[in-house]
Amino acid sequence: MEQDIYLFHQGNLRYSYQLLGSHKDTQHGIPGIRFAVWAPNAKQVSVVGMFNNWDGRQHPMKKWNKEGIWYAFIPGLETGMMYKYEILTAHGHLSLKSDPYAFSSEQRPHTASIIYPLDHYTWNDEEWLMQRKQRNIYESPMSIYELHLGSWKNIESEVFYTYREYAGRVIPYVKELGYTHIELLPLTEHPYDRSWGYQATGYYSVTSRYGTPDDFRYFVDQCHQSGIGVLLDWVPGHFCKDEHGLRKFDGETLYEYANPRKAEKSQWGTLTFDFARNEVQSFLISNAIYWLKEYHLDGLRVDAVASMLHLDFGKNDGEWEWNEYGGRENVEAVSFIKKMNEAIFEEVPNTLMMAEESTSWPLVSAPTYSGGLGFNYKWNMGWMNDMLEYMEIDPIYRKHHHHLLTFSLMYAFSENFVLPISHDEVVHGKKSLLNKMPGDYWQKFANLRVFLAYMYAHPGKKLLFMGGEFGQFDEWKDMEELDWKLLDYNSHASIFNYIKQLHQLYRDMPALWELDHKEDGFFWIDPHNNEQSIIAFARNSRSSNDQLVVVCNFTPEVYHHFKMGVPEQGFYKEIFTSDAEHFGGSGQTNGLLLETDPVPSHGQNQQITMTIPPLGVSFLKRTSVTKEAEHEK
């Protein structure tokens, strides 16, 4: 215990949730609950709850050490009882605070912490965890379905299913679509539904909106048993100012910076964690490990990393200060991020640590020993912004913006990238993914198909926010469920089927994922045809037999007898096209084998003559089957 206390104050206690908070204990043969809280500036701390009529005089805590850990043992308390800490500040003010380390909390709008030991759930995902240890995450397919539970489906507005009920609904749906992972918007306890979990108060409490901690464990367990990984959106950059939370926890700035220019995130109305403070480091690093260990999560998507790294993020002149070296970087945040990632990969190898980092900060997904931040993935925000800008342009004018299609390949292998089309891109007036697309009704769906096919052919792992998989017309409505009725219409059902088949292609073709992060996995055939808005490239796997040629047309023009360079002699077969009639396309397909001619074209030694579909993508694969054999078949 003394060693743990020492490590906590040194910023090196990776399991501080086992020291602090409320835990079952037995003292002098009597069972009860042990409480511990860090409040160095408090004059007095008491445990209050229904068990003592919220009377702070009944169970005062003792100060464990001069650094400010308070503790108490209360016999006879049981799982499910509510409590808070009553804190007498140095200024004589009494405040009631939720436990920063509580494992469960009251459902909003109530704010009490709940005693909830995490020792009585039996996991059944051993096979998944064993496979995870052996999996090469960089050379495996990864397609992530991002969802917000409360607005995926609900009973009615602000009335939700439980984690267990969501398991029975979400898992078969995601499995049918062919995704490899689910990514959940933040589930740490938060007071305001419309913050979507990004402004938390209970960092160790899975939100009670959908049930108990064991209910969420069941959800994760069932996902794993069904072969689906689970990622959680995690927010270490800032926290909300609600009175019962971390803000001025013991009457003084404690979890946040004392300097308001560093503490305030005015654009979000939140406070920044003090990354230089050792106890805050223990709190946050332990929290990441807690979610990975106690809930068997497969990884964390770390929110708003840019806001942690840059002192001037979202701020005007005069609202921030240069660091001690005269730079804009938050030096202690950089150090903390590296320390956090080192700890996580030591404690939970094969974890996915994904940074939402929106600037050109170098080596985000490189190891710390080579100068990187230590994540193993970074969201490719540059690709996302360029592609959405490009897709919203009328096809007539796309030839003037061709660089938006191709620029991402200039840096595609500088990081381990995820290509994200997330919730942030389909909310607050940005329109849904389908409704961003120009043209008439048919062209909107065709544009969506060509965009998604290019996304899955482009190097990098994939992420798509819920609703995009069936072409929701309205942007995300965070207080209502998805427009499931759209699946009754052929165009939307066709997009749903298209995503299923695109995932099947993606999983079956190692060229689309095996060398995602290596330059050997990609080469251009023709990146320069801006006049026709056509691009062509090849994707490679470790086996030359798996090579794919991908041809994309971003205009509604059909091109028959088009000469396209290819790398190998022989016959090419169109194994997938976004323009197939059963996807709602026009049916301009290449049904017969395409035989090469020994004519140099597009820098290749061979060429084929093919049909290029309107607003369509063709995936071509060299085959050993002859044209005669194909005809006989």
Q: Where are the domains of the chain?
A: 2-114, 521-632
pLDDT reported for residue 626 = 61
Q: Residue 463 pairs with which residues in a beta bridge?
A: 144, 420
Helix/strand/coil for 282: helix
From the list 72, 55, 54, the residue with the least C-alpha distance to 63 is 72
Q: What is the pLDDT of residue 158?
A: 80
Whether omega before 186 lies within 30 degrees of 0, making that bond cis, reads no
State the chain's maximal CA–CA distance in angstroms. 92
The list of the chain residues with pLDDT below 50 reads 632-633
Closest CA to 37 of 263, 279, 273: 279
Task: State the DSSP H helix or E strand holding residue 591, giving kind and residue range, or none if neither.
Answer: none
Residue 518, CB half-sphere, CA atoms under 13 Å: how many? 12
Q: What is the pLDDT of residue 545?
A: 84
Q: Both tokens of residue 437?
A: 């697309």
Among residues 303, 425, 475, 579, the one annotated as catalytic is 303
Which residues are 30's β-sheet partners?
27
Is-contact 208 106, C-beta < 8 A? yes
Both tokens of 226, joined, read: 């069904």
Sign of dihedral through CA atoms 117, 122, 128, 133? positive
Radius of gyration of the chain (CA): 27
Neighbours of 572 (CB within 10 A): 23
Q: Decide: helix, strand or coil at residue 36.
A: strand
Domain with residues 521-632, CATH architecture = Sandwich (2.60)
Listed in sequence order, the residues at least 6 apart from 156 whose beta carbon sits closer than 8 Å to its beta carbon are: none
In the numeric block, which tokens belong to residue 47?
């445990």
Residue 368: CA atoms inside 13 Å, Cβ hemisphere, count? 16
192: Cα separation from own chain's centroid: 21
**Rounded to an integer, what distance in angstroms lies between the CA atom of residue 248 and that of residue 251?**
5
> Are both 2-114 and 521-632 of the same fold?
yes
Map residue 348 onto helix, strand or coil. coil
Q: How many whole angstroms from its chain centre is CA 256?
A: 25
Query: Residue 4 is which amino acid?
Result: D
Q: Pick the catalytic residue from 99, 256, 274, 356.
A: 356
Give residue 406's Cα distance to chain centre: 25
Neighbour count for residue 263 (Cβ, 10 Å): 18
For the domain made up of 2-114, give the CATH fold: Immunoglobulin-like (2.60.40)
Specify whether 356 is catalytic: yes
Spatial separation of the C-alpha atoms in residues 269 and 200, rounded to whole Å = 12
Residue 596 pLDDT: 97
| pLDDT one-digit tens code per residue, 60-107 | 999 989 899 999 999 999 999 999 999 999 999 999 999 999 999 999
Is there a contact between 279 and 41 (Cβ–Cβ < 8 Å)?
A: no
Cα separation, 251 vs 92, in Å, equals 9
- What three-state secondary structure class fits 253? coil
Q: Is 303 a catalytic residue?
A: yes
Q: How far apart (Å, rounded) are the C-alpha atoms in residues 455 and 463?
A: 10
pLDDT at 543: 84
| Residue 632 confidence (pLDDT) | 47
